[in-house]
Chain A
Amino acid sequence: KAGVTQTPRYLIKTRGQQVTLSCSPISGHRSVSWYQQTPGQGLQFLFEYFSETQRNKGNFPGRFSGRQFSNSRSEMNVSTLELGDSALYLCASSPLNLQGTIGHNSPLHFGNGTRLTVT
Chain B
Amino acid sequence: AQTVTQSQPEMSVQEAETVTLSCTYDTSENNYYLFWYKQPPSRQMILVIRQEAYKQQNATENRFSVNFQKAAKSFSLKISDSQLGDTAMYFCAFRVAGNNRKLIWGLGTSLAVNP
* Interface mask (A1-41 → B, CB under 8 Å = 1, otherwise 0): 00100000000000000000000000000000101000000
Secondary structure dominating the interface of A: strand
> A6 to chain B: closest CB distance in Å?
10
Q: Which of A42, A43, A56, A58 has the most CB of B within 10 A?
A: A43
Stretch at the interface among B13-21, B65-73, B79-87, B94-102: B94-102
Q: B95 contacts A42, CB within 8 Å?
A: no
CA distance A43 to B45 in the complex (A): 11
Known contacts A56-B100, A56-B101; A43 and B91 CB within 8 A of each other: yes
Q: Does A66 contact B (CB under 8 A)?
A: no
Chain B residues with Cβ below 8 Å from A81 are: none
> A47 to chain B: closest CB distance in Å?
9
CA distance A56 to B107 in the complex (A): 22
Q: A45 contacts B102, CB within 8 Å?
A: yes
Q: B44 contacts A111, CB within 8 Å?
A: yes
> B115 to chain A: closest CB distance in Å?
26
Instruction: Report the tally of A-B residue pairs with Cβ distances under 8 A.
Output: 57
Q: Does A86 contact B (CB under 8 A)?
A: no
Known contacts A48-B101, A56-B102, A88-B43; A107 and B35 CB within 8 A of each other: yes
Measured CB to CB, the nearest residue on chain A to B45 is A110
Q: Does B105 contact A (CB under 8 A)?
A: yes
Chain A residues with Cβ below 8 Å from B42 are: 112
Some 30 contacts from A to B, beta carbons below 8 A apart, are: A3-B44, A42-B106, A42-B107, A43-B91, A43-B105, A45-B103, A48-B101, A48-B102, A55-B101, A56-B99, A88-B43, A90-B45, A92-B45, A102-B101, A104-B33, A104-B96, A104-B97, A104-B98, A105-B50, A107-B47, A107-B50, A108-B45, A108-B47, A109-B47, A110-B37, A110-B46, A111-B44, A112-B42, A112-B43, A112-B44
- State the B residues within 8 Å of A (CB): 32-33, 35, 37, 42-47, 50, 52, 91, 93, 95-103, 105-108
